[in-house]
Amino acid sequence: DVDPVAVYSGKTARLRLRRSRAATEKHRVAVGSRNVVLSTRNPLIVWLAKHELTLSFVVILCVRLSHWLGLAWAHPWLHIEHARGTRYVRGPHDLWFVVNWIFQIIAARAVMLHHVLPLVPRYFGVRNARSCRRFGETGWFLCYILLSWSIGFGIWRDSPYYMNTRGMYVDYPEDHVLMPYGLKWYYLVQTAFWISNIYTIFVEERRKDHVEMLTHHVVTIALVLLSYHFHFTRFGHVFMLVMDFPDIFLSAAKLIRYLGNEMLPNILFGLFTVSWVATKHYLCIKMMLSIWTEGIVEVPLEKRYPHCPDSYASYPIVGFMWAILCVLQTVLIYWFVMILKVLEKVLVKGEDAEDSRSDDEDNDDDSQQP
Greater pLDDT, 364 or 110: 110
**Contact present, 258 and 134 (Cβ < 8 Å):** yes
pLDDT at 36 over 80: no
Rg (CA), the chain: 24
The burial class, CB within 10 Å (0-12 / 13-18 / 19+), for 3 is: exposed
Beta bridge partners of 179: 88
Distance CA(344)–CA(357), nearest Å, equals 16
Beta bridge partners of 31: 34
Closest listed residue to residue 137, CA positions, set 238, 46, 36:
36
- What is the arithmetic mean of pLDDT over 311-317? 89
**Contact present, 144 and 248 (Cβ < 8 Å):** no
- What is the arithmetic mean of pLDDT over 46-66? 92
Report the greatest alpha carbon distance in the chain.
90
How many other β-carbons are positioned within 10 Å of the β-carbon of residue 125?
A: 8
Which pLDDT score, from 0 to 100, does residue 34 have?
53
Please report, as a single letter, which amino acid is at residue 129: A
Query: Where residue 355 falls among pLDDT bands split at 50, 70, 90?
Result: low
The burial class, CB within 10 Å (0-12 / 13-18 / 19+), for 187 is: buried
Please report, as a single letter, which amino acid is at residue 237: H
**Contact present, 369 and 122 (Cβ < 8 Å):** yes
Percent of the chain with pLDDT over 70: 83
Greater pLDDT, 77 or 18: 77
Which pLDDT score, from 0 to 100, does residue 38 have?
67
pLDDT at 369 over 70: no
Query: Where residue 301 falls among pLDDT bands split at 50, 70, 90?
Result: confident
pLDDT at 37 over 80: no
Backbone phi, psi, residue 30, to 5°: -80, 125
pLDDT, tens digit (0-9, with 9 covering 90-100), for 187-225: 999 999 999 999 888 888 777 778 888 888 999 999 999
Distance CA(81)–CA(85), nearest Å, equals 11
Going from the C-alpha of 237 to that of each of 57, 161, 270, the distances in angstroms are: 30, 10, 26
Distance CA(270)–CA(339), nearest Å, equals 10
The pTM assigned to this predicted structure is 0.86
Distance CA(201)–CA(141), nearest Å, equals 12
Omega of the bond prior to 173 within 30 degrees of 0, cis? Answer: yes
Q: Which residues of 6-45 are buried (b: 16+ CB within 10 A; e: fewer)?
A: eeeeeeeeeeeeeebeeebeebebebeebbbbbbeeeeeb
pLDDT, tens digit (0-9, with 9 covering 90-100), for 97-144: 999 999 999 999 999 998 899 899 988 888 888 888 889 999 999 999
Please report, as a single letter, which amino acid is at residue 158: D
Which pLDDT score, from 0 to 100, does residue 111 have?
93
Distance CA(127)–CA(35), nearest Å, equals 12
